Amino acid sequence: MEVLSERVSTGVPRLDTMLGGGFIRGRTYLVTGETGVGKTILSLQFILNGLQLGEYCVYVSIDERIEGVLRGAESLGWDFWSYMQTGQFIPLELRIYSSDIRKYGKDSRAFVDAIYRAMRGRPVTRLVLDPVSALAQGAKDEFFVREYLREIITTIEEKFRVTTLMTTDIPTGSNTLSRFALEEFLASGVVVLKVNKLLGRLVRTIYVRKMRWSSMDSTEYVFTIEPGRGIVIREPYEVYLNRVASKGPKLVDDPSKQAKEPDET
């Protein structure tokens, strides 16, 4: 019997708390937001946490070269190469074209089988699909894309029993949560990353939009991206706005420190 209380850390301590203890093991979660807001960094942070715990992890890049992703991770001080050499970290590049989906319809076996072959029998516990919005980009009939994605997610959950994190890009200024208006319904939880423009500067925020079978904190928080630490969640956005109005754009790591003078970041 599945134990819903068994949790998997996101790699971001404050986000674990917001999710009621982390992701529920074996489920699929969605990280959504505009391009460049930090979705890939969060997904890599999730993978790195698993690697540091001795787990086997798969990262599937759907629209970018793996080497570029890992070089970007190096800028944060994260070394995935050593884990890759030992076989603990399994990077994979997969491209799905709209013509293929149109031709094969709901046959998603090739995509899932490619991931399965890459695992080579290793006990993988974490999987990232980054970004699922790149599946058949520009397809005229999105019905096939939606059905393709539905089968990929359900098959992965049933066949692999891994905790899956998928990312999706949404258009700038959009109020939607996903590219195909489907991912958020298939996912057990949704984490939203945003970029807000305030007094001429961009402020990144994060909040939990959905979390099945768990309590959650839906407060919108400010976050920063820092070398060695990755995503660092700080104070509530509302508190940040009040501080900007009174003292200037400084950030605090812990809301309990709001009465104290925070450090510059």
Q: Per-residue pLDDT tens for 243-255? A: 888 876 666 555 4
Position 64 scores a pLDDT of 86
Q: Which domains does the chain have, with CATH numbers?
A: 7-193 (3.40.50.300)
Task: Inform me whether the pLDDT recorded for 188 exceeds 80.
Answer: yes
- Angstrom CA distances, 208 to 14, 60, 74, 76, stand at 12, 23, 28, 24
Average pLDDT, stretch 227-253? 86
Which residues sit opposite 221 in a β-bridge? 206, 236
Average pLDDT score, the chain? 84
The pLDDT, as a whole number, for residue 256 is 45
Lowest-confidence region among 7-11, 55-59, 142-146, 154-158: 142-146
103 or 94: which leads in pLDDT:
94
Contact 9, 20 (CB under 8 A): no
pLDDT band with cut points at 50, 70 and 90 for residue 180: low
Q: Which of 146, 169, 152 is nearest to 109 (CA)?
A: 152
pLDDT score of 106: 46
Mean pLDDT of 112-135: 91
Question: Cα dist. 172→72, 89, 101, 139, 196 in Å?
Answer: 23, 32, 26, 20, 11
What's residue 63's pLDDT?
83
Band of residue 1 on the pLDDT scale cut at 50, 70, 90 = very low
User: What pLDDT is attached to residue 248?
Assistant: 63
Out of 75-79, 199-203, 204-208, pick the least confident. Answer: 199-203
Q: How many residues does the chain have?
A: 265
